[in-house]
Amino acid sequence: MKKIVMKFGGTSVATGENIRHVANLIADHAGEDCRVVVVVSALDGVTDQLIQVAEEAKKRKSEYIRDFKQKILARHLSAADEAIEDKQVKEEVEQVLKARVDELEQVLKGIGYVSELTPKTRDTVLSFGEKLSAPIVSGVLKDIGLKSQYLTGGEAGIVTDSNYGEAGLLMNVTKYQVKKKIEPQLKEGAIPVITGFIATTQDGETTTLGRGGSDYTATIMGAALAADEVWIWTDVDGLMTSDPKIVPSAKTISKLAFEEATELTIFGAKAMHPRALEPARNENIPVRIRNVFDPKNPGTLISKNHEVKTKDGVKAVTLVNNVAVITVSGAGMVGAPGTAAKVFDVLGRENINILMISQSVSESNISLVIQRSLLERAVSTLDIHLLGRDFIREVEPEDDVCVVAVLGAGMKGMPGVASRIFTAVAKEGINVRMIAQGSSELNVSFVVKETDGEETVRAIHKEFKLDKK
């Protein structure tokens, strides 16, 4: 008997009609010889709306909350109404939706009363997106005659640490719990519909896995259940040579090794959560990215040993937005050992992840790329702990930048790739702000002004003729 985990992203479940389509797609595969575990995202755009309402709640905007409550309930009720025919099933789902939206309202009011939004309460608010989508999807499966049960990530057995917002997976306990909770359901022929993105601490507090985390939930389930494959259904044909929204001629990459695909996701191929491939890679479970609106398309297969080298070695070019650069400088830093280590240590203690580093040849400054949302915290931490000490004279932030990453395993040791990249960029008159000391040799990444980002990506896509591959 085969076991497949299928994850459906926000656009795949954006409306009642889409959810009905998704349910039929599941029904095409689920049966005696193939057990399916479903992971779902929140309806398209809902997580963003929850982030916003949490902020508004902190400002005690009770009118905004009331309005939001009505809108979010109406949207989900209408999706359920559109997708479910059976009266009893529909009523059951409606009850769950109403109860959960009431619960959300209580949480938002609570945030208003204390005028405080902690990372923990924020995760609780964000969890409602998936907590509202899963019951609908499960209801539609029942409606078309399948056995199904909806569960939160925590109920399915996914356990994390308490790093709210970007919680760390505890894989051993998760494996044990997931097997215990999900295998009996599969034996009975039921299709579990699990909320992506959200999990729980060992004390039962709700956590989230970071934006785009439903992909991660899918591979966690796949690894824990030793699935045959994990299928990530999305709104494009697969992982592509670039974001088709930036480069309309981008092509789907049919096969990729785990290592390459991981680089691609870390460097902004938004189609996937950056850590999503870890569990699959560890357990050697193939991952397919497929288009929910074109199920005949084979999509992208990510697995071991697909180091298909192309002539130039370059396979894709991506754009990472929402980043910022901090430059730490001081003439006295030249030859002073350990300055970089101190900077990393200070930021590490604040849980600020460094995406890229570069040091000037003269050693008089170090530039770091971090997530833009962490910029203020990073700068104030560096100011408090380092400014004026250890020869550090200046800490300068820049937030109008982006990272362009050029990726491909075949680039390893191939001379001339970097010069072609930077010549192509220079020809467009674009100034490169900073180049990373790439460690993996699977990518060359650099910083340009935010306004130059898309043009840079297109220039490189063209230089390496990625649309012809």
Residues in touch with ligand ADP (CB under 6 A): 9-12, 41, 212, 234-236, 239-240, 242-245, 269-271, 316, 318
CB atoms within 10 A of CB 441: 12
Per-residue burial over 264-297, b = 16 or more CB atoms within 10 Å of its CB, e = otherwise: bbbbbbbbbbbbbbbbbbebebbbbbbbbeeeee
How many whole angstroms separate alpha carbon 318 and alpha carbon 340? 28
The verdict on 129 binding Mg ion (CB under 5 A) reads no
The verdict on 213 binding ligand ASP (CB under 6 A) reads yes
Task: Find out whether 441 and 454 touch, Cβ atoms under 8 Å.
Answer: no
Q: Which of 69, 179, 181, 211 binds ligand ASP (CB under 6 A)?
A: 211
How many whole angstroms separate alpha carbon 33 and alpha carbon 277? 26
Task: Find out whether 179 and 221 touch, Cβ atoms under 8 Å.
Answer: no
112/192 with CB nearer ligand ASP: 192
Instruction: Give which of ligand ADP, Mg ion, ligand ASP, none residue 19 binds (C-beta under 5 to 8 Å, depending on kind).
Output: none
Token couple for 353: 């992840």
Instruction: Give which of ligand ASP, Mg ion, ligand ADP, none residue 235 binds (C-beta under 5 to 8 Å, depending on kind).
Output: ligand ADP
Vertex 260, ends 257 and 232: CA angle to 5°?
70
Count interface residues toward Mg ion (CB under 5 A): 2
- DSSP assigned state of 450: G
Count interface residues toward ligand ASP (CB under 6 A): 13
Instruction: Give which of Mg ion, ligand ASP, ligand ADP, none residue 177 binds (C-beta under 5 to 8 Å, depending on kind).
Output: none
In one-letter notation, the amino acid at residue 57 is: A
The verdict on 212 binding ligand ASP (CB under 6 A) reads yes
In one-letter notation, the amino acid at residue 399 is: D
Least distance in Å: CB of 140 to ligand ADP?
18
Q: Which of 112, 157, 196, 238 binds ligand ASP (CB under 6 A)?
A: 196
Residue list 134-173, contact with ligand ASP (CB under 6 A): none
Tell me the window of 4-12, 116-124, 384-392, 453-461 that interacts with Mg ion (CB under 5 A).
4-12
The verdict on 214 binding ligand ASP (CB under 6 A) reads yes
Sign of CA dihedral 114, 120, 122, 125: negative
Burial of 422 (0-12, 13-18, 19+ CB in 10 A): middle
Instruction: Give which of ligand ASP, ligand ADP, Mg ion, none residue 242 binds (C-beta under 5 to 8 Å, depending on kind).
Output: ligand ADP
39/442 with CB nearer ligand ASP: 39
Least distance in Å: CB of 234 to Mg ion?
7
Least distance in Å: CB of 366 to ligand ADP?
29
The verdict on 42 binding ligand ASP (CB under 6 A) reads yes
How many whole angstroms separate alpha carbon 378 and alpha carbon 129? 30
How many whole angstroms separate alpha carbon 227 and alpha carbon 218? 10
How many whole angstroms separate alpha carbon 405 and alpha carbon 314? 11
Instruction: Give which of Mg ion, ligand ADP, ligand ASP, none residue 139 binds (C-beta under 5 to 8 Å, depending on kind).
Output: none
Q: Give the per-residue SS3 of 338-389.
A: CHHHHHHHHHHHCCCCEEEEEECCCCCEEEEEEEHHHHHHHHHHHHHHCCCC
Site map (CB under 6 A) of ligand ASP, residues 100-139, x = contact? -----------------------------x----------
Instruction: Give which of ligand ADP, Mg ion, ligand ASP, none residue 149 binds (C-beta under 5 to 8 Å, depending on kind).
Output: none
Tell me the window of 24-32, 77-85, 212-220, 421-429 that interacts with ligand ASP (CB under 6 A).
212-220
Least distance in Å: CB of 253 to ligand ADP?
8
39/326 with CB nearer ligand ADP: 39
E strand or H helix at 216: helix 214-224
Residue list 325-354, contact with Mg ion (CB under 5 A): none
Rg (CA), the chain: 23
Q: Where does 138-249 show beta strands of DSSP type E? A: 148-151, 191-195, 198-200, 206-208, 229-234
179/211 with CB nearer ligand ASP: 211
Name the phi and psi angles at 116, rounded to 5. Answer: -145, 130
57/239 with CB nearer ligand ADP: 239
Q: Which of 47, 206, 262, 381 binds ligand ASP (CB under 6 A)?
A: 47
The verdict on 238 binding Mg ion (CB under 5 A) reads no
The residue number whose beta carbon is nearest to ligand ASP equals 214
E strand or H helix at 49: helix 46-58
The verdict on 212 binding Mg ion (CB under 5 A) reads yes
Footprint of ligand ASP (CB under 6 A): 9-10, 41-42, 47, 129, 196-197, 211-215
